[in-house]
Amino acid sequence: MSDQIPMPVLRKPWKLANIVPDFLLGFENLRMHKMRSLLTMLGMIFGVAAVVAMLSIGAGAQQRVMAFIEQLGVHNLIVEAKESDTFPEYRKARAISPGLTFQDYRVIDETVNGVAASTPRKRFKPTKMIPRPRQTIPVVYGVDPVYQEIAGLRLETGRFFNSRETADAAAVCVLGEGARTNLFGPEDPVGKYVKVDDQWFQVIGVVAQQLAAQNDVSGVPAEDVNNLIYVPLDSAIYRLENAESRFHDEIDGIYLRLKPDADSPTVASVVRGILNGSHHGAADFSIIVPAELLAQRKRTQRLFETVMVAIASISLLVGGIGIMNIMLASILERTHEIGLRRAIGARRADIIRQFVIEAILISFVGGIIGILFGFGMSRVIAWAAGWSTIVTAGSILLAFLVSVSVGLGFGIYPAVQAARLDPVEALRYE
């Protein structure tokens, strides 16, 4: 055959000096049959690209949620009131339960072991505000000063209010980053005033940007945590109470910072038992344990990644079948070459090694192209759909190893078939 590739010098099999010529021979064979090699690689390319793209989409979707849960604090416990939307619902609920109250907070704070810090929360939704908000009116959180530590708030400018200002119901406030932009734009608001409904509050600080969940996360209400105004708890109660407040719980949230050695699920069970007793089993509250949510999300992410890899691996299996078919066809095409090598002393191991290396090269090159294609796909998806995608080193390594393993697995059978050819019959083959 005029286009036959020079055969490597035969030595003992599987030594490096013998493997390198086989690699060069494999590359030369791929180069001589460019179109056939490309078509053979397509299955590997699309399979690897699918694995990388799917895992990047899953990682992007999970990362924001998991970061938000971590922001809640793995050593924290949050009690959220399930408040009624209408007065009839409120009256029906109050026939059974008093709702979340300061008494609940005091009992939990004084009797539950493992609590390092705590604060109740009273939330208000103003109807008007000055300066006029550019977008949605910020929500007001009435909390104790320790909330800064519990929530891990980092101040961009100014300071947080202190215990004295809380005791005096001082008219001071701290803006979230979104609220600052919403009310004052790029200006520094520290020292200026905000009118919430009919009360003026002086701005004493601005909280740095925080992560916000787009949807409810296992009981955590979907709320823009950056578009908030923090005021002392007593200031919120005495200055912002209105007629509508009568139809809401006395407080609507309790934040607990647990000691490092406290077991979150155990403390949550104790808190749940206390509230079930005082609320007569009305189930008008929810308890959020960020540590449990984080562990659950990690389990879900691992399951999601396993399913995505299994689905995308179908393309890799199809690509592996394509490699097997092409290799079997290549054996028929190179039967005379195989017979000649066997006649001059090549062992079966030499023939197997040669064809296995060629199969691995096909999957190797296809895997590299697939990784680049998958990276590009993830970027296009992120740009077109507005999703967050993250291409991790783990997804690239997994896709690459699977592609090479598929090439190796599907290349062994044709290689063994080539090694079993009878040298005499192979030399006679035309």
> pLDDT value at position 232?
94
Model-level pTM? Answer: 0.62
| The pair of three-digit structure tokens given for residue 289, joined into one six-digit string | 């344990």
Residue 16 pLDDT grade (very low, low, confident, very high; cuts 50, 70, 90): low
> pLDDT value at position 202?
93
Distance between CA atoms of residues 59 and 298, nearest Å: 11
10: left (phi over 0), alpha (psi -120 to 50) or beta: beta
> Chain centroid to CA 332: how far?
49
**What are 278-336's pLDDT values in tens digits?**
887 777 788 887 776 666 666 777 777 777 767 766 767 777 777 787 777 777 777 77
Residue 221 pLDDT grade (very low, low, confident, very high; cuts 50, 70, 90): low
Of 378, 385, 316, 403, which Cα lies nearest the Cα of 58?
378
Residue 2 pLDDT grade (very low, low, confident, very high; cuts 50, 70, 90): very low
Is 50 exceeded by the pLDDT of residue 403?
Answer: yes
Tokens 């409904």 belong to: 197
**Average pLDDT, integer, range 261-278:** 84
**What are 342-366's pLDDT values in tens digits?**
777 777 777 777 777 777 788 888 8
Distance between CA atoms of residues 289 and 219, nearest Å: 10
> pLDDT value at position 14?
47
